[in-house]
Amino acid sequence: MDEMDPFEARLLFGNMLDNLTGAQPTIDRVSGFAVKNSSMADNLLDCITEKLEKLAVPPRLNILLVIDAILLSISRTSSRKGRAAGDSEETQNWMDLIKKDIVQLVKEVVPETPGGDGNVPQVRKVVAGWRRKSVFDKKILGDVEKLLANRAGADTGTSTESGMKHQEILKRIEEDRERHKRHKEDAWIRPPNDAPENELESYWETTSDFNDADWFEITAENNEYRHELDLVKTSLGLHESLI
């Protein structure tokens, strides 16, 4: 079978991004196409960048999740086949390009707006996964984490300001729950040649003493989940009133 023409691949990929949602099957489908066509990674990443600039802020999170899925797919391949086989020239295209642009990509997903604040908690979880799996070196991770520093995420008063409707918020809660299940399933995946003690050393080096900032983050997370619980209760109450 002939290889897909770059122009055709870009059009098809752009259409897939236009129809992207936070549901895991759509994320897997888009990331699978990207990995399969790694030889055209530069064109496809340009397409991702263009879509990020055009999208409203809340759905930009879905594109970051596609990038995360691409990285995870490459890590899976490397874990199965070993570093020499896994780091093929074509998949390395994706790794090199994403490493170069990841700071700007994350910045587009979490601008300092209400919508960007709403994306911060999920982006933090994605970045934490990158650190656990040693996807990027410490400098790149440090630059990404600086973008999230002092960003508490949306509190109970900012969800409506972010432009998300009630049903959209409930949908995102369900999608987040599904992603959390998937991340638990993938937690065992290790980088090639990675010794188990590397993870312990990483936590030892990067975990600071418990301080006021930790209390602030815990409070912010509690407010976030309390708000989600209130939304679910409200939704159930509305449903019961119609019975």
CB atoms within 10 A of CB 22: 20
Tell me the average pLDDT of the chain.
Answer: 79
51-68: average pLDDT: 94
What is the rounded distance in angstroms from the CA atom of residue 171 to the CA atom of residue 167?
6
| Alpha carbon 221 to chain centroid, angstroms | 18
Tens of pLDDT, residue by residue over 17-48, are 999 998 889 999 999 999 999 999 999 999 99
The DSSP line for 82-96 is: -HHHHS-HHHHHHHH
| Alpha carbon 20 to chain centroid, angstroms | 13
What is residue 165's three-state secondary structure? Answer: coil
CB atoms within 10 A of CB 226: 11
Vertex 103 angle, CA 99 and 104, to 5°: 110
- Asked whether the predicted pLDDT for residue 89 surpasses 50, the reply is yes
Cα–Cα distance list, 168 to 117, 191, 228, 236 (Å):
16, 35, 12, 15
Q: Name residue 133's amino acid.
A: K
- Asked whether the predicted pLDDT for residue 84 surpasses 60, the reply is no
The DSSP line for 180-213 is: HHHHHHHTT---TT--THHHHHHHHHHPPPP-HH
Q: What is the CA radius of gyration of the chain?
A: 19
- For the whole model, what pTM was predicted? 0.67
Q: Whose CA is closest to 230, among 152, 153, 166?
A: 166
Tens of pLDDT, residue by residue over 195-221, are 555 556 666 666 667 777 778 778 888
